Structure 1
Amino acid sequence: MKFLKSLKPPGRTPDVIVNPFSIMRSIDFTGWMLLLSGWLAWTMDGYDYFSVSLTAKRLSVQFGKSSTDITTAITLTLLFRSVGAVIFGVAADRYGRKWTLVINLLLIAIFELGSSFCNTYQQFLAVRSLFGIAMGGIWGLAASTSLENIPPNARGLVSGFLQQGYAVGYLIAAVVNLTLVPNNPHTWRALYWVGTGLSVFAAIFRSLLPESRSFLEAKLEAKSRGDTGISPTRAFLKEAKAMLKTNWKRAIWAVCLMTGFNFLSHASQDLLPLFLQDNKLFSPHNTSLIAIISNCGAVVGGITAGYFSQYTGRRLAIIIMLVWTGAFIPLWILPSSFAGISAGVFFLQFGVQGAWGVVPIYLSESSPPAFRASFAGIAYQLGNMASAGSAQIEARGGENWRTTVQGKNVPDYAKVQGVLLGVIIGWTLIMTLLGPENHGSRFEQAVATREGAGKMRNEDLVENHRVLQDDNAETGEAYDVKVKGNVEHVEKGAV
């Protein structure tokens, strides 16, 4: 009973589930635009990441390398993303979300374009490594841009919508690869050119929108209080040091949690095409169809779980989705028919990405308030780096666990995926149970240069915010930052 009580969100929670359309109406135009810009940035991240895997065979012919050699570019991208998370996350918390994200997206466009003009394998690896640094900043910036500018009661729904931008990015890249690339004289390069144009569009779109309102409010509050007499940069470094000293245990937990989540994705996705073609003897066409079906399940699951996490609490929603995923492992790997496998991948990805749909808001609420972009982004990418070897682990497992399909000895990817996914679900469950529940914490409270910001915890900001949310469940009333001339001031109104 004590365990169940620990999963209950702190403060008062709504007794009645609010219609999602009512929640959507509570978001004002600026909030919608900032949400769309964050979602678009994350969608481009998904598009750009999967560009290499989608063109792996063409790249192997272009550079005279094996497909295994080409996957080295994917591994390097994952490894260097942590560097980008540090650089862009710190810049966002110090200087603001807007121009940091614009610069980040423009760098992605530059490196995507550079990838398309590589003529040697070494050039491609170098550019994709630099590309990984640029990609590393996107998640934290996209999450803070999207979640900081909406009513508290909309965060769960928006979290699920935001996270599934990655799946949408994959779908867009797959469609371009299936339609444009085969009919273009420049073949694989055309896929990267489209990604370049879309990333530039995302950067321009973000540049036309204002800075995050919660960041402006916190900055204004810090100025009005006059907390420090030292330079902003020195103040930031001082508070960052204090934050790490105060939150080092939480930082370790966050990286362990995101390691589990990233393994959860890779274990259920990386070898799916090989599993379908080698173990189930599906054609490349049917394999592509099943991949599309799985991504549809991912989008539905992410949005659904994110929405209900607003009422169940973040951890309980994640736990339910992890248990759901474990229950559907047999349906995912045992059937041999197209219909059976399709149902299996749909419901399994519903659970996997359902759990993922809660991650942006859960990690944001669990981060130190003044370092939300950097803390969440770095934890995410360090977990990504730790899981970078997932495909190699599964491939090596397939070399040792074999099966016979129509008289041919092949790797038993079904067993490998099932065992690995089961272990990862157990790990992620434990990490989720060990984590905090800061459902409803305030997002507009602290700026990183304010004295004492490094020691501030989200737990300290939950209770007052919950009262505000309950009293204004439909309107999402909060304080808004208005700028008139060169003077910033705070006004109370609907966010």
Structure 2
Amino acid sequence: MAAAVVSESKPPWHDRLRDHLGSRVSSLRPPSDVPFENPVRVLAQLNKKQWLFFLVAFAGWTWDAFDFFSVSLTAADIARSLNKTVTDVTWGITLVLMLRSVGAIIFGLLSDKYGRKWPFIGNCVLFVIFELGTGFVHTYTQFLALRALFGIAMGGIYGNCAATALEDCPLEARGIISGMLQQGYAFGYLLAVIFNRALTTTTSHGWRSLFWFGAAPPILIIVFRFLLPETETYIAQKNMEGLSQRGAFARMAKASLKSYWHILIYLVVIMTGFNFMSHGSQDLYPTMLEVQLQFSANRRTVTMCVSSLGGIAGGTLFGYLSNFIGRRLTIIIACILGGALVYPWAFSGNDGIIVAVFFLQFMVQGAWGVIPIYLSELSPPPLRAFIVGLSYQLGNLASSAASTIEATLGMRFPLDTPAGDTIQRYDYAKVMAILMGCVFGFVLIVSFLGPENRSADLLGHAFEIPGDDEEDHESGEKNATAQRQDTAL
């Protein structure tokens, strides 16, 4: 595995590019010295504190997903209440995705400088405020303003959750814990579906009840995180790098970005594809079931629950497999199988849609299950929460209009609307199928061409903060760059 070192003998960029591209096939070969292990035995390696870190991170990520999907699940109801179209309401989803990058920058830097604990708690406090406020909006402008602020709050949680759950995780358990953590997203979707059915259609306040309910659980998550300490890896890293020294964090951040800027660009590109994959298959899907297929509330609930269960199963399994066959190969397999399932998922109609939606989300979230650890291993340890969160959320920004694009293009394919129905029906399934086919192909190609740093040292012993003199500064940059094992580009 090649190591990029800043020196006079460093090969020209075109030679490094040629070597990198030439190794893309051979680097997919699963390592022969990593045998499959019983997943129960793998999980048994975590101690009590490591499990608690995972659980609080899982809870935070779960409720981020619950809050996000509350809008997509109630889009038609919100549209009727505010006298707007479904397409108008989807701009609330788009605004959240667009502003998440702001939250990723703010809370990512706070997390890397001051620790994982208090920025996490601050995120959850904002969840309570903005979720509660959304339930009280009475105009479309108020709705968009609250969702925009919510986007900033949501943007800060992912990098922190990944760092909290994975930093202290045993090496052999990283893959399966990554898959389980990422499925907080699918689990949050499942909870949103269940409580949407329980509250939106059965209470006098309708969709508003879902948002009011959503403000309560983050209070429990705040208490949970308050009772836990900092991760041991963060404390050790802080001591090793002397972050308490004046100006140390700024010098470290500058050195990290100088050495890892090309990795950040790659991560943003691949996360753009991943976010199109998830939002393209999920955000407008409840509306498609309700408006296009005319599913009843109960049938929509069952279908979306099955979808979430498929995602949870796929993400956990593929995350576990990635520890043995590699991160990139796992993503590629999931994309190939997912692409083969696009047609039955979109066009099965009433008969086979349950099976199709289960396995499509099995593959979508199967690929996603690798992402927390894949991003963490490719990120510089001193800026892990920042890089992981920012790359994820910039990918969200690039894909922020996914549901709006689908809704807008769907209007080109109108369907017959039943008499008395105020919502026009469109063939959303056709547009979603085309988009998902393209996205699976894109993610497959990008992951094939990209780097991998499986089993990286998350503490970052090879990374040194640049000192005050020129010699220390050069040494810090060399060590920062040398940490990457498969990114000689």
CA change 1:313–1:394 in 2 (3 A) is: same
Query: Partner residue of 1:417?
Result: 432
Give SS of 1:180's match.
Answer: helix
The 1-side partners of 2:86 and 2:249 are apart by 45
The 2-side partners of 1:459 and 1:272 are apart by 45
The 1-side partners of 2:98 and 2:310 are apart by 28
Query: Partner residue of 2:312?
Result: 299
Match of 1:133 among 152, 169, 173: 152
Query: Partner residue of 2:250?
Result: 237
The 1-side partners of 2:60 and 2:396 are apart by 18
Query: Partner residue of 1:246?
Result: 259
1:436 aligns with 2:448: no
CA change 1:301–1:286 in 2 (3 A) is: same
Letter in 2 for 1:423: C
**How far is 1:395 from its partner?**
2.5
**How far is 1:266 from its partner?**
1.7
CA contact (8 A) 1:7 1:437 kept: no
CA contact (8 A) 2:24 2:449 kept: no
Q: List structure 1 runs of 4+ shifted beyond 4 angstroms.
A: 277-281, 401-406, 446-449, 452-459
Query: Partner residue of 2:108?
Result: 89
The 2-side partners of 1:93 and 1:420 are apart by 36
Letter in 2 for 1:241: K
1:49 aligns with 2:62: no
Query: Partner residue of 1:384?
Result: 396
Q: Which moved more, 1:253-262 or 1:54-63?
A: 54-63
CA change 1:180–1:394 in 2 (3 A) is: closer
Q: Which moved more, 1:176-185 or 1:212-221?
A: 176-185
CA contact (8 A) 1:273 1:287 kept: yes
CA contact (8 A) 1:83 1:136 kept: yes
Identity of aligned residues (%): 44
The 2-side partners of 1:239 and 1:158 are apart by 29
Q: Which runs of 5+ in 1 are unaligned?
A: 464-495
CA change 1:417–1:123 in 2 (3 A) is: closer
Q: Give the TM-score of the pair, scaled to structure 2.
A: 0.86
Q: How does 1:251-330 map to 2 (within 5 A)?
A: 251-277=264-290, 280-330=293-343
Letter in 1 for 2:207: W
CA contact (8 A) 1:92 1:100 kept: yes
Q: Deviations over 1:352-373 (max 9, x none)?
A: 1100010111011111121110
**How far is 1:124 from its partner?**
2.6
The 2-side partners of 1:86 and 1:335 are apart by 42
CA change 1:62–1:411 in 2 (3 A) is: closer
The 1-side partners of 2:448 and 2:227 are apart by 41
Give SS of 1:326's match.
Answer: helix
**How far is 1:454 from its partner?**
6.5
**How far is 1:250 from its partner?**
1.3
Query: Partner residue of 1:372?
Result: 384
1:460 aligns with 2:460: no
The 2-side partners of 1:357 and 1:178 are apart by 27
**How far is 1:238 from its partner?**
2.3
Q: Deviations over 1:61-96 (max 9, x none)?
A: 443433333222222111111100000001111111
Q: Deviations over 1:206-228 (max 9, x none)?
A: 110010110001112224xxxx9
Q: How does 1:340-419 map to 2 (within 5 A)?
A: 340-401=352-413, 411-419=426-434
CA contact (8 A) 1:116 1:193 kept: yes
Give SS of 1:400's match.
Answer: coil
CA change 1:417–1:125 in 2 (3 A) is: closer
Q: Which moved more, 1:310-319 or 1:361-370?
A: 361-370
Match of 2:229 among 198, 203, 210: 210
**How far is 1:273 from its partner?**
3.2
Give SS of 2:454's match.
Answer: coil
Q: Which runs of 5+ in 2 are unaligned?
A: 1-21, 419-423, 467-472
**How far is 1:187 from its partner?**
3.5
1:426 aligns with 2:455: no
Q: Deviations over 1:122-147 (max 9, x none)?
A: 22322221111111011111111001
Higher strand share: 1
Q: Which moved more, 1:40-49 or 1:50-59?
A: 50-59
Q: Which moved more, 1:378-387 or 1:340-349?
A: 340-349
CA change 1:456–1:420 in 2 (3 A) is: farther
Provide the alpha-carbon RMSD of the alignment: 2.8
The 2-side partners of 1:93 and 1:299 are apart by 29
Letter in 2 for 1:379: S
Q: Give the TM-score of the pair, scaled to structure 1.
A: 0.85
Letter in 2 for 1:445: G
